[in-house]
Every structure is written in C-alpha cells, then in structure tokens.
Amino acid sequence: MNFISVNLNGVSDPQKGLWIRNLKRKVRAEFIGIQESHQSGLSELVLRRFWDSSPMCIDTVDSVGRSGGLVSIWNLDIFLADQVIKNPKFLSVSGQLLGVNVKFNVINLHAPNDPNCRRSLWSDLTSLINQFDGAWILLGDFNEVRSEDERVNSRFDRGSSEAFNGFISSVGLMEYSMCGGKFTFISGHKDVKLSKLDRFLVNDQFLSSWPNTLAEVHKRGFSDHCPISLSCLTSDFGPIPFKFFNSWIGGKKLSDIVVNAINSVSEMVGLGGVGVYKDVILLNTLKTIKANIKSWRKQVSSDRLRDINLLEE
C-alpha cells in the first residue's frame, strides 16, 4: 500500500485535484491524507477530483470555519476499515489490509501552531496508540521539527522539539529517510522560510513488514507544502518497454535516424552471400534505429524539462 500526504491549504481549486490525481498515478498510491481542507460537509463528487476511477472510501474531519479540516481517501479493494476515530486535529482509520494478517492503523493529522496544544496532541496520540496493537503509520503536517537543521530562517524551539522527539520515542515510532528534498514547507519570497514539517512515522511492526519502503518529497505545486509519498510496493517489472508514438512520424529527425541506420548496414548487406543472414541484418538495423530513437527522445525530454524548470523559477 502506497501513501500520499499533503497539506493543501484548501481543496476548492480544481487544479489541486488534477495535481494530486497525477501524483497518485505516478506513485500508485492507495491512500491519500489531506490536511487543511478548509471546508466541511465535503461530498464524494468534490473529493473524486483527487482520486481516479478505482473504488474509493472517504472519511473527513470538518474544518472549524475556514481553519483546519482533514480528509482521508483509500482504495476500498485494498483496505477495509472497521474503526474510525475523529478528533479536530487527527483522523484515525483502522482495519484490515489485503494480504496483511495484523490490524492496520493509519492516522492523518494536522498539529496546531500553539506549542502547548501540540503537546496535548502528542499525549492524545500516545493514549490512542497504546490502546491498540497492530501496524501504525502516522502521516501529515506535524507542525514541528526534530532538530535545528530542519529549519531555515525561522525560530527553532528546542523545548517543543524535545517534546516531539519524546513522544516519538515513548510510543516506539521510527522514520524512514526521505529523498527528493530536505524541506517540505516553503514560504515567503524575499526571506524564504524552509522547514521539514510533513513526515511519515511508523512503528516497528510496520517497519518489519515493509523494510525497503521509499519516502519521497515531491515538487511543490498549488500549496506552500510539498506533497510527500511513502511507497511500500517496490515491485520490479524489468526494463521499461520501448514506446513509439505516431506523432513522431513525418518529422525530419525520425526520417534521418531511419535512413542513417539503413545506410550504416550497407556493408553487411554486401556480405549477405558469405555468411551474414538477412534476418541478422534486419535485427541489427532495428536495434540501431531503436537505440538512436531512445537517445533522441531522451535529449528532447531533457530539453523540455529544462524549459519547465526555467518557467517554474
């Protein structure tokens, strides 16, 4: 089961739905945790924008006015929930995960800004986790860092950090190393503030079941928080198949690739009567065309990515 967590700072913008749905497809997520929906009474029609055509189940915690709000969406064919616990600051969903014989618990949370309120949340979560066995995963915006190097251009509160680390230690939680970026929250323009506020925390039973899990920070899009993903399914289906699109036909570059490949085996054709089989010649011609097309498309993709990065900057 793969996860996405993102503080969206409001779900009303349709572009956010397309953004997260594309990310879901990319990481093959079966669970999405959204923080700060800023809405109450969200319908399946609205939240379907963040999902695809696969079966989905939804639970939410309504916002208080235009503040807060949590949404958890999961694949009904993969995860069958039988217990939901709601709190203004967290949404806990427990049940049976396909192929896993232990109880599976997911907490989607958004910690408050006030340090005292965060300490109260850590206490509530400690009581909840200690009540039930099974595999636990906590995801969301913890609004706290674990060390001073997880903040740039903002004040580091050592006492709050120690309280957060104490909570993590007391309930036996652990954290996967995250790739793709060091920070998940980016704000400001002149004096940019960077913090690692979003993360995944798991217990030993979860870690033992999925030791090779990949935690990743993705590019910031329509929020001041970067989405993060946790990929537990690391199946290797072998090399990526060779793709050819009709839209390439008719272009001069493709014609040149084919003509040059044919010309390059002209000498082999001349030797056809002395041991070089025509099927071998055809095979080598096609292999040369394939290799040159892949090299060409790689360069095109690199140029496009460069242009996209320049536009984003």
pLDDT tens, 78-105?
A: 999 999 999 999 999 999 998 888 899 9
Distances, alpha carbon 223 to alpha carbons 19, 47, 92, 105, 227, in Å: 10, 17, 24, 27, 9
For residue 236, tell me if it sits in a domain.
Answer: no
CA atoms of 152 and 154, how far apart (whole Å): 6
Is 241 within the bounds of a domain? no
Based on the domain organization, do 218 and 252 belong to the same domain?
Answer: no
Grouping H, G, I as helix, E, B as strand and the rest as coil, residue 24 is: helix
How many beta carbons lie within 10 A of that of residue 70, not counting itself?
A: 26
% of the chain beyond a pLDDT of 70: 94
Q: Are residues 279 and 155 in the same domain?
A: no
Q: Quick check: is 221 in a domain?
A: yes
User: How many structural domains are present in the chain?
Assistant: 2
- Same domain flag for 258 and 116: no
| Rounded CA separation 218/29 (Å) | 14
Q: What is the pLDDT of residue 202?
A: 96
Q: Do residues 143 and 265 share a domain?
A: no
CB 32 within 8 A of CB 49: no
Q: Any idea what the CATH number is for the domain that residue 178 is in?
A: 3.60.10.10
Token pair for 258 = 């084919």
Residue 8 resides in a domain:
yes
Residues 227 and 79 in one domain: yes
Structure tokens at 98: 């396909």
Q: Using the 3D structure, point to which of 231, 266, 298 is the last residue of a domain.
A: 231
- Whether 163 and 128 map to the same domain: the answer is yes
Q: Which of 180, 204, 231 corresponds to the end of one domain?
A: 231
240 found inside a domain: no
- Is 270 found in the same domain as 164? no
- Clarify whether residues 220 and 264 are in a common domain: no
Q: How many CB atoms lie within 10 A of CB 215?
A: 18
pLDDT range class, residue 237, cuts 50, 70, 90: low
Q: Are residues 47 and 78 part of one domain? A: yes
Question: Residue 282 above 60 pLDDT?
Answer: yes
Same domain, 69 and 190: yes
Rounded distance between C-alpha atoms, residue 204 and residue 199, angstroms: 16
Q: What's the mean pLDDT in 164-168?
A: 96
Task: pLDDT band for 274, please (50, 70, 90 cuts).
Answer: very low
pLDDT at residue 172 greater than cutoff 50 = yes
Residue 237 lies in a domain: no
Place of tokens 């572009």: 15
Q: Are residues 185 and 64 in the same domain?
A: yes
Last residue of a domain, one of 231, 258, 284: 231
Cβ-Cβ contacts under 8 Å for 36 (sequence gap 6 or more): 7, 8, 9, 10, 63, 68, 69, 110, 141
How many angstroms separate the Cα of 230 from the Cα of each of 93, 190, 199, 255? 17, 32, 9, 43
90 is a domain residue: yes
Q: Is residue 238 part of a domain?
A: no
Same domain assignment for residues 51 and 115? yes
What is the Rg, in whole angstroms, of the alpha carbon atoms belonging to the chain?
Answer: 25
Domain assignment of residue 277, given as a range: 246-312
pTM attached to this predicted model: 0.75
Least confident of 26-35, 158-167, 175-184, 279-288: 279-288
Q: How far apart are CA 118 and CA 124, in angstroms?
A: 10
